[in-house]
Structure 1
Amino acid sequence: MQILGQVFTVENRLGMYSLIAFFFLFLLYLMRPKPFKKVIPSLIFLESSEKRMTMSSFFRKFVKDWLIFLQFFVILLLCMGAMDIATEIVFRKLNTEVAFVIDASASSKSKTEGKMLFDTYKEIAKKRVGLSNSIILVKASPEVVAKQVNPVTSINLISGLKPSDSLSNIWDAIIVASSTASPGATIIVLSDFQDSNNKDIALAQKIVEAKGFKVEMITPVSKERDNAGIIGYTIAGDSITVQLKNFNSAPKEVEYQGTKLTIPGYGIEKASFDSHEGTNRIEIRTGDDFSLDDSITLTIPKEKTKDVLLLTNKKKAYLRSALESIKGIKLTRAEPPIVNIGNQKIFVLCELDYSNLLPGTIDKIRQEVSEGASLIVCAQEGLDQGKLDDLMPVRIVQQLTQDVEIENQGSVAIVKDFNFGQSSKYLETTLTSNSSLIIAQAADKLGSPAIVLMKYGTGNVLFYGLLDDYNQFKLTPQYPIFWITVIDLLTQKEYADDLNFKVSEIIYANLISGPGGISGEKYLVPETEGDYTADGNTISVNMISSYESDINKKVSSGITLTDGKQDSIKQKVLLLPAFALLAVLMLLLEIYAIKKRGDI
C-alpha cells in the first residue's frame, strides 16, 4: 500500500482480523437504538425552534460522547500495531572521514546554469560532510583550511569559503589531501579539472587510490559555456595591445571602446588601446559566463628626469653627443678644476685632464656614490688610477696597440644583445674586486675586463674600457641605445614589466601589501587581482591565463567522474512502537479529560 509516495506493508496478516473486528464494533455503535422522543405539552413552545435544537443536539451529543471516539481511536491504533505495519526509510550514508578538495581557482568564478561554480561546489560539499572532515582549497599552492573537524564546524567553514583569482594546482591538492586525511578516508574532489600546470590529474587519482583512499571526482559542469577574454598584452610606446581569444566553437562578438569585433571560433584577435603614465584600465564587453578575464589594469611607470654631470676637458666627444640625444636626461657639463657637485644621480668622467681634477672633487663624488649615486669612468690615455683609487673597478696593467675582439659576456640581461666589435688599441686590465660584474671583456690571453659594473656603498661604478677613437662601436646605431640602457640601469629605471604581474607570479620586495589587507615581507604570491604596493611602488596584478579562461576544456578521459550523489541505506522499520506510543498518549488524554470533568 502506498500513501503520499511512502510504501507501507503488513507483516502480520493475522492482525488484520483485529482490524475487521474493530470495524464491526464501530458499526454496532453507530447502529445502537436511539432514545425515544416524546413531546411534552408544557414544552410545545419549543417546536418553533425544532430545527435549531436538532442542530445543536449534535454538538451536545459530541461533547457528551467524544470520549468514546477517543477510545475507538486507541483500539484502532492497537489493531494497527497488531498488524505489524512496516515501511522502508532511506538513511543517508555518513562517511566516517572525508577530505574535501574544493577548486577555489579563478575558473571557479565562472557561471554554470546561472550560478557561480564555486557556490555549487559548496552546496555539494555541505551535503557530503562526514563525522570527521578536512578541507583543502585548490590554488596555485594548495591551502589547508581545516584538518579533521566535526560536521558543524565543517559546514560553517565551507559556508564562509571564498574563491580566489589564483591559478589551479589540482594535482598537488589531491596529494595534500591524502597526507591530511587518515588511510581509508573518502577524498571528494570538486573541480572543473583544468590544471594550470597541465599535470595528469588522472595519475594523481590513481596514486591516491593505491594508498587505500576512496576518491570521488565531481564536476557540476554538464554543458558548454560561453567565454571570450584577454589572454595576453604588450606595451609599446603610447599604446597597449591585448590578445583576445574566443573559447567557443561558434564566432563571438566582443565590444571595446565603442568598437565591435567578431572573433571566430577558437580564434585570437588583437585590440589596441591608448596608454598613459600611471594606471590604465583595459575593458571589453562580452556578456559571457566568465567576467574575470574581461578586464585588466596595467601600470605604466612615470618618466623621471635624470641629472647627469659630465666632467670633461674636451668640447666634443662621442659620449657627450650620445648623452645629449637621450630623452629625459638633464646633462650638465663641467670643466675641471671648477666643478660644482650638486644632487646629480650620475657622474661621468670622460676625456678628462686628471691633473686639473682636485682631490676635493673626487672626495665629494666618492661620498655621493657611496650614498646611492652612480659614477661612469671612461677609458682614456692618461687615466689617473691613483686619484680615483677605490673608485676604479679595474687595475690597468698596460695599454696595447693590437686588434682584439671585445666580447659581450651576457651577464646583464638588458645589455646582453650589444655587439662591441673590435678595438685596434685597448687596455689590459684585471679586476680589483671579485664581486664586480664583467659585462664585456677583451679576447686576449688575460681576458681583460673591458666594461665592468661594481657596487660601491649603495651606489654603482661603471668602467667603460673601450677607447672610442680606436673602436667602431661608436659609429653604430647601437651606441646611443647602449648609453640609454646604461643610464636606465644605473638609475634603476622602472619598466612596465616591473610594475605588472600575473596572479600567482612571485613579487619580491622588502614590504608588500595588497587588497583586503594582504601583506608580506621579502616576497608574496598574489592570489587576488588588484593594486599592490611594493616598497612604496604601485604595481598591478591581473588574472591572465588561457588555462583558467578555457572553461569549456574537456575533462581528461582518464579521470573517473562520479555523479556526486551520496550513498544511501534502506531500512525496514516497524511502526508498532509508534502506534503503541500514540495509544498511550490517547489514554493519558482520556484520563486527564475524565478527571477534569470531575468523574474521578
Structure 2
Amino acid sequence: MLLSSLSLFYLGLIPVGGLILLYLMRPRPREVKIPSLMFFFEQKGQMEKSHFFRNIFKDLLFFLQVLILLLLAFSLAEPFLNVPQDVLSKHTVLILDVSASQQVGSRFPFMISEARKYIDGRTTIILAGSVAETVLEKGTRSEAEETLANIEPKDTTTNLEPAMRETERILKDRGRIVVISDFLTTGGQDPYILKRLISAKGIPVEFISTLSSANNIGFIDMLVERFQTRVFVKNFMASDQRVTIKHFQDNEFHEEYSKTIAPEAVESFTFETLPGRSTIELGPNDDFSLDNKVYVSGPQKNKIKVLLISNEPNSHLQSALEASPEVQLEVAEPPILPAFHYDIIILDNVDEEYLLPNLFYDLKQSISNSTHLIINAHDTSFLINHQGLLPVDMKARINTSSEIIVQEGVPSFVEPLVTSNTILREYYGVVPKDNDTRVLVREKAGQNPILAERTFNGGKIVYYGIMPEHADFKLAPEYPIFWNQLVNYLVDLDDPSTNNLKIEGRPLIDNTGFYEERGRTYAVNLLNEKESAVIGTRETTSGREAGESSKEAEQKLVKVDYTNYFLLAAILFMFFELWLIKRRGDL
C-alpha cells in the first residue's frame, strides 16, 4: 500500500521513461559503402529491425539505473503494510491469577496449560494475587517452561490491577498481554476497564477465563473474643445444605454443631475460645476446600489469678472480682497466707496485728513482670509499715469533701471513676514517693493523689485511695467495670482479635495457617465472601467482553512502514553500479 501514488507516478514512471528515451536517442552511425561488406546487405533489413531494442537490453547498467529510480520512487511514495500486531509481537506478557479461587477444581492446571500455548519469543510472567509478582522478565522459552512448572496457587485474594499496570512498564509499545484468570476480583479496578485503557495504547490484550462450575459452602468471617469465638458460614449453592462444624485443639476433637443452611444464606456458630492453637472445620467437603477450615489463636490463659488478702474482706470488692469472667479469685486472711503464685495480689483492710514480719519481704520477692500488687487505703493504713512498697507517702487524713479529677494521658481503665461522679468524703493526704511514681487520679480540692502507680522489679504496684467507708463509688454500676479493667491493665492480656488476622492486605503472607513472631502466635485465614463466591461457568469466548467477537479481536492491525527499506536498497544498488562502471573501465 502507498501513501502517495502521485509520487510513484511523477518520480518513478517519468524518470524511467526518460532513461529509456535517452538510450534510444544515441546518434546513428554514418554509413560507408565498403565492397567487402556487400555480402551482409541481404541481412540488413533483419538487423535494422532488431537494432531498436539492442541498445537497451545489451547494457546491465540500464537495468540497474531503472531499478534504482523505481526504488527511490517507491520510497517517496511511503509504502506500508497493515500487519496484525500478533505477527510483530516478539514479547508476550502472561498475567496468571494465582489467588485462592484458582484452587477450585481444574482451574489452576487449565491456566498453566493455556499459558504454555502463548510462549513465543521473549516471555514475561507476572503472578497476580493480592499483589503483583514478576517471576520472569523477558525470558526464553525454556525459562518460561521451567517457571510455569514451579508456580503454585496461593491463599490470597484477587487483584489484577497491579499486574496489568506493571505490563505498561515492561512492554511500553511493542508486545502483547495475555491474562488468564477466573476474574473473580476482590479489589482494584475492573480488569475490563483496564483492558480497554491498555488496548487504546496499541497493546493487544487477551482475556482467557478459567471460571468453571463449582459448589461451595464456606467460612466468610470470624469474631474471636476472650471467651468465645463466633464463625459465619455462607451457603453459596442454590439448595438447602446440611453442614457439620467441628472444633479441634491439637488434633483432638472438642465440640461440634450441625445445622441446615438455606440457599445464599449466612449462619453463625459459637464456640469456646480455647487457649493456644485450635481449628474449626466445616463439612461435608466441596469444590473449594480452603474456606472449609479456619485457624484460631486463643490467649495462652483465659483467667487472671487474683489473691485478695484481707482480715475483713470488702464485700463489694469481692463481688466485683468474682463477677468478672476473666478473674479466678482466692481470698486469704492473715496470718495464714498461701505462696504468692498469682498474677495480682490485693492488700485490702488488713489488720496490722495479724501481719507476719516477713510479709512485705515476701511480696518484694514475688513482684515481677508476672506478679503485680494493689494496696487499698483503709482506716488504719497509716499504721502499717509497707517497707517502701507503697507508691506514695502518707501525711494525714483529710475530712474535706472533694471531687475526683483524672490526669491527662492516663490509661482508659480510669474512666469509670470519672463517669461515676464519685465524691470523696474522707481520704489520705499523700505525696508521690519519688519521680518513678505516676499519678493517675487526684482529688480536686487539695490535688492529693488518689490513684497512683510505680514500677518495681518489672512489676507494677498500685495505690488505690478510695476508702469504701467514705465514698459511694462501691455502689456505682461503674465499680465492677473499673476493677475488671484495672486487673486487665496490670496483666496486659492480649486481645485475641489482634492475633487472628485476614490474609487480605498482608502482602508478605501467601498462605493461611499459624505463624510465630516475637513469641506470639498468629492465625491467618482467608475469610473473604467475594473470593469464596467461586460458582460459575467458563466462558466460551475466552474471556472477551460481550460484543467483541473473535474476528474483531484478530483485526487489530499495525501499520509497518517500508520507506527506509526501499531507500537502503536503492543506495546499495547505486554502490553496485559504481563498482560495475569501474570494473568495465568507464571510470
Fold shared per TM-score above 0.5: yes
1:97-246 matched pairs, under 5 angstroms: 97-111=91-105, 115=106, 117-179=107-169, 184-197=174-187, 199-201=189-191, 214=203, 216=205, 218-221=207-210, 225-234=214-223, 241-246=230-235
Distance 1:283-1:207 versus aligned 2 partners, 3 A rule: same
Amino acid across the alignment from 2:282 = I
> Which residue of structure 2 lines up, in the alignment, with residue 347 of structure 1?
345
State the shift of 1:528 in Å: 1.5
Please say if residues 100 and 177 of structure 1, whose CA atoms lie closer than 8 Å, have aligned partners that are also in contact.
Answer: no
Query: What's the offset of the Cα at 1:154?
Result: 1.8
Give the superposition deviation at 1:157: 0.9
Q: CA deviation at 1:531?
A: 3.3
Residue identity opposite 2:523 in structure 1 = S
Q: Percent identity?
A: 22
Aligned partner of 1:110: which letter?
V
Residue-by-residue CA offset, 1:154-213 (whole Å, 9 max, x unaligned) = 221122111111123333333344445656454433333344345555565567668x57
CA distance in 2, matches of 1:500, 1:532: 10
Return closer, same or farther for 1:243/1:184 CA change in 2, 3 Å cut-off. same
Paired residues for 1:23-34 under 5 Å: none
Pairing 1:451-466 to 2, within 5 Å after superposition: 456=456, 458-466=458-466
- The alignment of Structure 1 onto Structure 2 pairs a total of residues equal to 452
For 1:179 and 1:386, the matched residues in 2 are separated by: 76
On the 8 A contact 1:194/1:553 being kept in 2, the answer is no
Distance 2:436 2:88 in 1: 65
1:253 lines up with 2:241 in the alignment: yes
Aligned to 1:497: 497
Change (3 A) 1:470 1:103: farther
In 2, the alpha carbon distance for the partners of 1:285 and 1:531 equals: 21
Deviation, structure 1 residue 232 = 1.9
Contact 2:442–2:451 (CA under 8 A) maintained in structure 1? no
Partner amino acid, structure 1, of 2:241:
E
Q: Distance in 1 between matches of 2:396 and 2:189?
A: 57
Pair 1:93–1:281, CA change in 2 (3 A) = same
Q: 1:411 to 1:315 in 2, by over 3 A?
A: closer
Deviation at 1:103, TM superposition (A): 1.9
1:391 & 1:554 partners in 2: Cα distance? 72
Contact 2:348 2:378 in 1 (8 A): yes
Q: What is the letter of the counterpart of residue 268 of structure 2?
A: K
Deviation at 1:93, TM superposition (A): 4.2
Displacement of 1:107 in angstroms is 1.5
The range that moved more, 440-449 or 154-163, is 440-449
**For the structure 1 residues 133 and 424, does the alpha-carbon distance in structure 2 shift closer, same or farther, using more than 3 Å as the test?**
same
Tell me the secondary structure at the aligned position of residue 122 of structure 1: helix
Q: Match for residue 282 of structure 1?
A: 280
| Counterpart Cα distance in 2 of 1:118 and 1:415 | 55
TM-score, structure 2 as length reference: 0.60
User: Residues 92 and 213 (structure 1 numbering): CA distance in 2 closer, same or farther, change over 3 Å?
Assistant: closer
1:546 aligns with 2:546: no
Tell me the secondary structure at the aligned position of residue 284 of structure 1.
Answer: strand
Gaps in structure 1 of 5+ consecutive residues = 1-89, 507-523, 570-600
User: In 2 relative to 1, CA 282–381 (structure 1 residues): closer, same or farther, beyond 3 Å?
Assistant: same
Q: Following the alignment from structure 1 to structure 2, what is the Cα–Cα distance between the partners of residues 383 and 316?
A: 15
Code of the residue aligned with 2:216 in structure 1: it is: N
Partners of 2:403 and 2:445 within 8 A in 1: no
- CA separation of 1:364/1:274 partners in 2, compared to 1, >3 Å: closer, same or farther? closer
* Partner secondary structure for residue 114 of structure 2: helix
Q: For 1:318, what is the secondary structure of its paired residue?
A: helix
Give the letter aligned to residue 497 of structure 2.
Answer: D
Change (3 A) 1:151 1:382: farther
Could you tell me how far apart the structure 1 residues matched to 2:180 and 2:333 are? 70
Gapped regions of structure 2 (runs ≥ 5): 1-83, 246-256, 557-587
Letter in 1 for 2:502: K
1:398-421: CA deviation from partner (whole Å, max 9, x where unpaired): 957445366698975788788750
Length-normalised TM-score, structure 1: 0.59
Distance 1:94 1:341 in 2: 84
Counterparts of 2:180 and 2:499 in 1: how far apart (Å)? 35
Aligned pairs for 1:297-336 (under 5 A) are: 297-301=295-299, 303=301, 306-312=304-310, 314-316=312-314, 318-323=316-321, 329=328, 331-333=330-332, 335=334
Counterpart of 2:100, as a letter, is A
Does the 8 A contact of 1:397 with 1:430 survive in 2?
no
Cα-Cα RMSD: 5.1
Contact 1:437 1:454 in 2 (8 A): yes
- 1:546 CA drift (Å): 0.8
CA separation of 1:451/1:193 partners in 2, compared to 1, >3 Å: closer, same or farther? farther
- Is contact 2:369–2:457 with CA below 8 Å preserved after alignment? yes
Which letter does structure 2 place at the counterpart of 1:541? V
CA distance in 1, matches of 2:149, 2:550: 18
